[in-house]
Structure 1
Amino acid sequence: MKQKETIDPERDGMHVVSAGESQAEVAYRRLEEAIVTLSLRAGAVLTEAQLIDLVGLGRTPVREALIRLAQHGLVQILPRKGVLVADISAIDIIAALDAREVLERLVVGEAAKRAGPAERIAIVEAAKAMRRTAEAGDVMGYMRLDKELDALVAQAARSPYATRAVEPLQALIRRAWYHFERRDDLVPAALHHGSLAQAIAGADSLAAMAASDALMSHLRKGLLATLDR
């Protein structure tokens, strides 16, 4: 069995619980963040007991979270052995970029059309916060806000099938970004998110889709350049 990974939930802020979250959602969020940020490294094999201890919740919510993580390609459940954290594959990254680009255009376009006033404000504020954390070099803060912005846009889009399809792709690309240490890209990426947020706030679906395309192109260029090295 491969070396087991450990993580300190208090150290990484994983003890925070958002209002209205079920225990399964909390378990999923904590485990996904640990995988995306490489606290649980690719190829690591962990027992169910370790994961229960990690998230500080019971067996049922952890099992529900693991099923969802497996569906999203982040773990593989090994019967009677444990849970294998998925490897990071160049082929998977490219395929995820291709699919995400199409889905993101749909989601942001719908968000620009359907978002309510409060949602538009929240989206802009999240993008502003991303820029502040980027300028401060706060990688973990930036990653959490990136996920928060994605969730706000998804909620505003009112397009559940598209948002469910794009969510695992977003996680996979965040993980690749973290793996290849794209920390020099924080501010440029934050600026792209800002343009996207402003287009949604302005109810301009065409501008939102163009901003999404620009963001995806930026991510693709950076990740592919890293893969080529």
Structure 2
Amino acid sequence: MPARSLSRVLPALGLGLLLTAGLSGCGQAPWATGLTSSTPTATFSVAPIIPVINDLATGSTTRNLKAGDVTLAVNYWSTLNIGEWTPAANKPISFSLIGTLGTDDGQAVYLSRVGVVASVKGPSGPLTAPPASVDQASIAPGYLIKTPYSYSQTFILPAVDPAATSITLAFTYEVLVQSTPTSAAFAKSTASDEITVALTPAE
């Protein structure tokens, strides 16, 4: 090749080498690698499921309550199948009790009054409750409940709010005990109890 032509080729060749070196120093082109992006991950919070208490789940329940020196053995049940305790149903709650004295010198034991206050709950909190039920003894000083005698009663709970999921029944028992076996004086004491019954949602 003539010297003149070679002098033209060498500068061009040098320029090509410089361009190649320049490109290799810049690293990979953006299109040569996969695009990465951060996608937000959705998070969900699950509210804990709080089971509804049902003290009559087996059909009945018993309690031993203290009213001063008297022990009350109380049994609760319903003549209506618990699965049929819906908000709209009339719900009978039955109970019986018998009393025993801790220090028994022959005194009589009487039940002078029993009251039941209902509270109704739904998924969002308290709901309107039915009126209280009361049995005030119609004889003085009250109903004899010392063993072997007992007291039995049934109260009917009316329909409640359709959203109701449970009913809690607060019982109050007022008891009178003779001061002596022949005395007309009585000592009064009170026992309290609560039971909760789950309601079956209406279909």
TM over 0.5: no
So what's the TM-score if we normalise by structure 2?
0.23
Which structure has the highest strand share of the two?
Answer: 2
Which structure has the highest helix share of the two?
Answer: 1
